[in-house]
Chains A and B, each alone.
Chain A
Amino acid sequence: MNNEPHIARAFDRDLEAIQALVLRMGGLVEAALSDAATALETRDDVLAQQVRAADVAIDALEEQINSECARLIAIRAPTANDLRTVLSVIKIASALERCGDYAKNLAKRSIVLTAMQPIEGAAGSIRRMARQVGLLLKSALDAFITRDIGLAEEVRQQDQDVDHMYSALFREFLTHMMEDPRHITAFMHLHFIAKNIERVGDHATTIAEQVIYLATGALPDAPRPKGEAVIAGLKP
């Protein structure tokens, strides 16, 4: 990679600006995810409401990133590494926006769940899974800023841990639902939450793959290791 400054210094500032926006967006998404999971565990509706309201800022940042990138493409006509940076920024912002939506959805379901009878242990498991995914997201963004292919590769590998956590929860929830049908509504919500957190992990992987594309000019060709599929868990 080329770390020399551009002859046009404003070009460097433009590129730095869009990447700084992505980092700010990443920070907001990590906080939203963590707060939503805390709200679920502590049955804190006020915090959940805050998470829902904060999603507006995440969406606004994505729009700002898109328009800054469009402007940069129009004005600077970026090529090579610069072009890949801009394309990665757009893709990462779009992935983060989805993650923000998942956190918001978690907060929404958390409010629904507080109105029901608490379920022993489930919120704690979800909290742990959310923390794990939050770390993945953070690592993926760190890898993006430092252009660290090794770290990006680690994120790709570690996503399977999240897949395993999800599969385990899926089986656990299914067992509970079969044992006590009165809790089906609550467990359906919990399952969607777990599924959404698992999707955030997939987006962290997408970001990691963008880092590899950015640094090398090609997406990784080796297929990513996938955790045990839930379908397999359904088999007798």
Chain B
Amino acid sequence: MNDMRTLERIVNSEAIKISARNVQVHYGTTQAIKDLNVDILDKTVTAFIGPSGCGKSTFLRCLNRMNDTIESCRVTGQIMMDGANIYDPRIDPVQLRARVGMVFQKPNPFPKSIYDNVAYGPKIHGLTRNKAELDEIVETSIRKAALWNEVKDRLQSPGTGLSGGQQQRLCIARAIATGPEVLLMDEPCSALDPIATAQVEELIDELRAQFSVVIVTHSMQQAARVSQRTAFFHLGSLVETGETGQIFTSPKDPRTEAYITGRIG
């Protein structure tokens, strides 16, 4: 079938961006993730779904070492990005986070102007030499986040003055301003209304042309809508991963089926 939609749905890349092997995560004595193996493809949206406490957010936070900030958290195993172990002691987590951006559940703009919110990352990472270059990055990032037309006349107003949906798109603009290779999104739409949600989803679909997006979501329909690959987590294990359409029409594991159909699993 050579129709447009089928072509569009095909995962453009078989290139593996991130590869996790035997990942285990402990918070103190509690094991949050058990022996997890997964490959995340480049230029693809991967959705992590699963009930609360299944480890999907924990695993997402492993991908840019956000878990380093939690005292009791211990990560073992191997997470390779482009063939390099991101837990290698020689890797600077701050540099890593410029390459692996993150957007959180609640919009959290800095208490600064719209412009400064987006300019902050490129500034501290020294990505620009002059004001003109910085202006350009800010504009491109805000445009990519589909926010430009709404804020171009008030770049100096505080980011916190925007609506919830606009704030979240500002956070996405901030995350893509450092030119990341991977964008992690932890429930990016849970605080947004349906229109703002649709805008963010459309944005995610456009962003996958440039990098790999990993999204954690509690909305199964959202996972189905935005992703090309879906991974189902349950009790700290990765139960099933596959092409999104396959997961939602004929999942292989009965636990996946029970969860996505809304049964008591």
Contact = CB atoms under 8 A, between A and B. Distances in A.
B250 A84 contact: yes
Contacts of B77: none
Main secondary structure of the interface of B (DSSP, over half): helix
B248 A80 contact: yes
Contact of A81 (B221, B224, B257, B264): B257
A7 B250 contact: no
A120 interface: no
A79 B220 contact: yes
A234 interface: no
13 contacts: A2-B254, A2-B257, A2-B258, A2-B261, A4-B265, A6-B263, A7-B264, A11-B262, A78-B261, A79-B249, A80-B248, A81-B257, A218-B250
A79 B248 CA distance: 5
A178 B250 CA distance: 54
A4 B250 contact: no
Nearest to A7: B262
Contacts, number: 46
A156 B250 CA distance: 23
A7 B248 contact: no
Given A79-B220, A81-B257, A4 B249 contact: no
Interface of A: 2, 4-8, 11, 77-84, 217-218
A11 B250 CA distance: 19
A8 B263 CA distance: 8
Contacts of B221: 77
Nearest to A85: B261
Contacts of B257: 2, 80-81
B235 interface: no
Interface string B191-225: 00000000000000000000000000000110010
Contacts of B250: 80, 84, 217-218
A4 B258 CA distance: 8
Contacts of A6: 261-263
